[in-house]
Amino acid sequence: MNLIAVDIGNSSINIGYFTESELIVQKIETLPLRAHSEYRELIESFRREKNIDKKTEGCIISSVVPGNTEVLTRALKGLTSVEPLLVSCRMKTGLAFRIPKPDELGTDRIADAVAAYELYKGPVAVVDCGTATTISVVGKDADYIGGSIMPGIGLMNSSLAKGTAKLSEVMLSPPESALGIDTEGCIQSGLFLGTAGATERLLSEMEKETNFALKVVVSGGYGSMISRFLRRSHILKPHLTIEGLKIIYLRNRDA
């Protein structure tokens, strides 16, 4: 099937083009916000460059940036024969939401959880390393039961620079050692090893509270960087959100 799946995040917009044989992903910076005509031209230009068939069955959008949602929806109208689907917890996701306010849950986390449960059909945690580092947990009966949110490494990096007098942003390069020998190395150690350590602690505490042995899937723009510092077994799926969007689309295309 030919499908366009769009994940609008705080830092980047990832557009996945599912063809009959592969997934091709286009990345656009979330800011500055562009006119819908500009987004359409970027999409059409990318499809020409990658020789992606213009015959598209449908489109699905996940967004955590309300200001971009309408513009991208307008840009994508006309590229398919049907209206783009907007992800929400009220759609047929295959999950039961065992949390008090499912409407507050980011739709990217819903897509992550759907894809991860589809992989394992059992208790699983998704660590999505983006602007925020989020953990989303699904139980043994496809029930979304909660998770955690902390600042991502990029956000921590910029916050240190803005909130202190003498620290500057550093290159987001993995540290050679936990023991930093200069300011840059110290910050890099804190960002990467600190995030990995916090993630592992959170996962351990979640396993104690749920009595589940959680499988772990790592995703997101910084996922590959953080993955190498995680000691516990996991798989890396950079485009997990987009894969989840495809599953949700298939479950709702005739709704």
205-223 confidence digits (pLDDT tens): 999 999 999 999 999 999 9
Q: Which domains does the chain have, with CATH numbers?
A: 3-86 (3.30.420.40), 96-244 (3.30.420.40)
Give the residue carrying structure tokens 């997934």: 23
User: Which tens digit of pLDDT belongs to each residue from 179-211?
Assistant: 999 999 999 999 999 999 999 999 999 999 999
d(CA 138, CA 105): 13
d(CA 39, CA 60): 16
Percent of the chain surpassing pLDDT 90: 93
Whether this model's pTM surpasses 0.75: yes
User: Which tens digit of pLDDT belongs to each residue from 126-171?
Assistant: 999 999 999 999 999 999 999 999 999 999 999 999 999 999 999 9
**Does the annotation count 108 as an active-site position?**
yes
**Structural tokens at position 205:** 């505490």
Contacts of 139 (CB under 8 A, 6+ apart): 98, 123, 145, 210, 212
d(CA 54, CA 178): 49
Q: Are 110 and 89 in contact (CB under 8 A)?
A: yes
Cβ count near 103 (within 10 Å): 9
Residue of 108, 128, 143, 182 marked catalytic = 108
Q: Are 72 and 61 in contact (CB under 8 A)?
A: yes
- What string of H, E and C letters represents the secondary structure of the chain? CCEEEEEECCCEEEEEEECCCCEEEEEEECCCCCCHHHHHHHHHHHHHHCCCCCCCCEEEEEECCHHHHHHHHHHHECCECCCCEECCCCCCCCCEECCCCHHHCCHHHHHHHHHHHHHHCCCEEEEEECCEEEEEEECCCCEEEEEEEEECHHHHHHHHHHHCCCCCCCCCCCCCCCCCCCHHHHHHHHHHHHHHHHHHHHHHHHHHHHCCCCEEEEECCCHHHHHCCCCCCCEECCCHHHHHHHHHHHHHCCC
Percent of the chain surpassing pLDDT 70: 100
* Helix-helix angle 240-252:107-120, to 10 degrees: 90
